[in-house]
Structure 1
Amino acid sequence: MQSIKQITKSTSPRALILPSVSASASASASSSYSCAAILGSANVNGNNFNITNPQFLIFFYCNHCYYNSAAYATAVEDAKVNGSSLSVVGAYFKEWFKKGRNASLNDGGEPVLLERIYEILSNGGGGRGEEEQHTVGLSQLGLRLSEKFVLEVLSYGRAKNDVLFCLRFFDWVGHQKGFHHTRNTFYAIFKILSRAKLMPLVVDFLDKYMAEKFIHHKFGFYSVLVIGYALAGKPMFALQLFGRMRFMGLDLDAFSYHVLLSALVEEGCFEAVEAISNQILARGFQKDVTHSVIVKSFCKQKLFDQAESYLRRALLNDQDRGFGDSYGYAVSFLVDALCKDDQFEKARNVIDVYIELGEVPVEPAYDAWFRNLAQSGKLGEALEFLQKQKSFKGYVPGIFRYNGLLLRLLKEDHLEEACDLLTEMIESQISPDAITMNAALRFFCKAGMVDVALDLYNSRSDFGISPNTMTYNCLINALLGDGSTDEAYRVLRNSAGQGYFPGRRTFIILADALCREGKLDKMKELLLYTLEQNFIPSDSTYDKFISALCRAGRVEDGYMIHKQLCRINRVAKITTYVNLINGFRKLCRGDIAARLLLEMQDKGYDPRKPLVRSVIECLCHMENPELHFFKLLGMQLSHREPNCYTYNFFISGAGYAKRPDLGRQVFEMMERSGILPNVISEILMLQCFLKSQRISDALNFLDVVRHRRGKIGKRLYNTMVVGLCKANKVDLALDFLKKMLSEGLTPSIYCFEELVSLLCSSKRYDTVIHLIDELGREGRCISSFIGNQILLHAFNGDELHKTWIRYKEAQSETSYGLSVLGQLIGSVSTHNRLSQQVYNLDEVIDECFPPDTFTYNLLLRKLCISDVDHACELFNRMCQKGHEPNRWTYDVMVRSLFKQGRVAEADRWMMAMDRGGFHLIESPKRFSAW
Structure 2
Amino acid sequence: MRGPSSLASRASPALNNLPVKTFRQANHKRETPSKAKLRKAANQPSSNTIVAPPTGNSSSSTSQLQNSNLFSISSSPSSAVKFKPCLNKPIDHRYIAQILLRKDWFILLNHEFKAKRITLNAQFVVSVLQNQESPSSSLNFYIWVSNIKPSLAKDQSVRGVFGNNLYRKGPVVLSVELLQDIRESGCKLTEDLLCILIGSWGRLGLAKYCAEVFGQVSFLGLSLSTRLYNAVIDALVKSNSLDLAYLKFQQMSADNCYPDRFTYNILIHGVCRSGVVDEALRLLKQMEGLGYWPNVFTYTILIDGFCNSKRVDEAFRILDTMKERNVRPNEATIRSLVHGVFRCMAPSKAFEMLLRFVEKKVLFSKLACDTILYCLSNNSMVRETAAFLKKLGSEGYLPDSSIFNITMISLIKDFDLNEACEIFESFIEQGVKPGFNTYLAFIEAMYMAGRVEEGNRFLDLMIKDGLVSNIYSYNMVIDSFCKAQMMDSASQTITDMRLRGICPNLVTFNTVITGYCKAGEVGRAMEVLVMLLEHGFKPDIFTFSSIIDGLCRVHHIEDAFDCLTEMVQWGVTPNSVTYNILIRSLCAIGDTSRSMRLLKKMQADGISPDIYSFDALIQCFCRMKKVEKAKNLFFSMLKMGLVRDTYLYSAFIRALCKSKRFDEAMEFFFSMEANGCIPDSYTCNFILDSLVQHSHLEEARNLLKSFNWRRQFIRQG
The two structures share one fold, judged by TM-score above 0.5: no
Higher Rg of the two aligned structures: 1
Higher RCO by CA contacts (8 Å cutoff, separation 6 or greater)? 2
TM-score normalised to the size of structure 2? Answer: 0.43
TM-score normalised to the size of structure 1? Answer: 0.35
